[in-house]
Copies of this chain bind each other. A is one copy, B any other.
Amino acid sequence: MEDKSDQKDPGKDTMDRKYWNSHLQKMTGYTFGLQPEITADIVKLNSNESPYPPSPEVLEAIRKAAGPALRLYPRAEWDGLRRALSREYSVPEEAIFCSNGSDEFLSLIFRTFAEPGNTACLTNPTYSLYRVLARAQGIQIMDVDCDADFRINFDELLKRQAKITIITNPNTPTGALEAVKKIEEFVKIRKGLVLVDEAYIDFSENPTANSALRLIEKYDNLLVARTFSKSFSLCGIRAGYAFGCPDLISALLTAKDSYNLDTLAQAAAEAAILDINWMRDNAARVVRTREASRKNFLDLGFGALPSQANFLFVSHPKHDAGKLYNRLLEKNIYIRYFPYSPLDRYLRVSIGSDKDMERFFSALQEILSSEATG
């Protein structure tokens, strides 16, 4: 999996790991994007964060919640937030789960619906955190390679048996979107749980039509996950939400920490749903910038997959991706590079503001020219 060289703890190798469990002894944690302090000099396009601020209603809700009532525990089952989600997405409350970021939900599915020795089926490539979380629970991974154009190979997936299969839609780091019809065919036949992770769906052409959400009423083996991090501009509050039949949600409620989502995050997320048009406007802006950026990449001779997410996955036939990554880093421009095959020929660039992208492309052009003449 991902290289940890850029953040390796030099003391780590001297540790004896005597008390670590057998799964953890053999693994390293997830590699998150570098977290530079944000100054005017920095362009941070490495973690698929939104360039736009969260809704003013959200900030106001947090300020209002910052009062004496913080002495009390949060609502254990997120009453207000769950009600708002229920209304917005027309899903009964008992089919909704809320988590401390999608991360907690993803960790929970391996702890709730699988046990050590079970198998999880993942597409390759996909979000690398799944693998880390599964391995931490002693769960075997079965990778199914995507097609040459990074489409998910559902036929191959069906040939493998697994307790849990994860489909990321749109996928990361590619931005490729699969038709919901294909997903339904898969869920229908599949024995075992299917999670469709829709972290980026709000950046797709028609989120409602593209989502697997409506399928949860028909299939008892389907979970659909969303997050407030990306389209709602709320990475900082750690709030995720998910949909599934009440039997699945009830299992997650049994397994979760009692008060998994704090009072401030619940207030913020509820306000974000009540002001959902703020999110939609921002997502639309990101989409416009994404399409303009894709054109810029193509003009510069890059290959750039069509993307339905808030990032682009690009490669240049004549320039080494790792080198470009490092040259950009020298110029305080942070993007993402995955130093393992087959992703090491590509760069993942989150879509920033138009100004961020201008700075990015001007730096990139400079680097390409200097390499061409150098």
Contact = CB atoms under 8 A, between A and B. Distances in A.
Contact of A111 (B94, B101, B136): B136
Which of A58, A59, A257 has the most chain B CB within a 10 Å cutoff? A257
Which of A114, A235, A262 has the most chain B CB within a 10 Å cutoff? A262
Interface stretch (A68-76, A81-89, A149-157): A68-76
A19 B113 contact: yes
Nearest to A76: B32
A162 to B, nearest CB: 12
A183 interface: no
A235 B22 contact: no
A17 interface: yes
Nearest to A221: B19
What is the predominant secondary structure among interface residues of chain A facing chain B? loop
A24 B260 CA distance: 18
24 contacts: A9-B250, A11-B250, A12-B250, A15-B250, A19-B220, A19-B248, A20-B112, A20-B251, A22-B115, A28-B254, A29-B256, A32-B73, A51-B71, A52-B71, A59-B66, A62-B63, A63-B66, A65-B236, A71-B235, A74-B238, A100-B100, A104-B257, A111-B136, A237-B262
A49 B71 contact: yes
A44 B69 CA distance: 12
B53 A259 contact: no
| Number of copies of this kind of chain in the complex | 2
B94 A11 contact: yes
Interface string A29-55: 110110100100000100101111110
Contacts of A28: 254
Interface residues of A, number: 90
Contacts of A21: 111-115
A173 interface: no
Contact of A233 (B20, B71, B76, B257): B71
Given A254-B29, A258-B32, A116 B113 contact: no
Given A115-B21, A115-B23, A235-B71, A260 B100 contact: yes
Contacts of A32: 73, 76, 258-259
A107 interface: yes
A49 B73 contact: yes
Nearest to A192: B19
A121 to B, nearest CB: 15
Contacts of A53: 67-68, 70-71
Given A28-B254, A59-B66, A262-B264, 10 more contacts: A19-B113, A24-B251, A29-B256, A32-B76, A47-B73, A49-B71, A62-B66, A71-B233, A73-B236, A100-B238
A247 interface: yes
Closest 6 A/B residue pairs (Cβ):
A53-B68, A70-B236, A236-B263, A103-B257, A62-B66, A238-B262
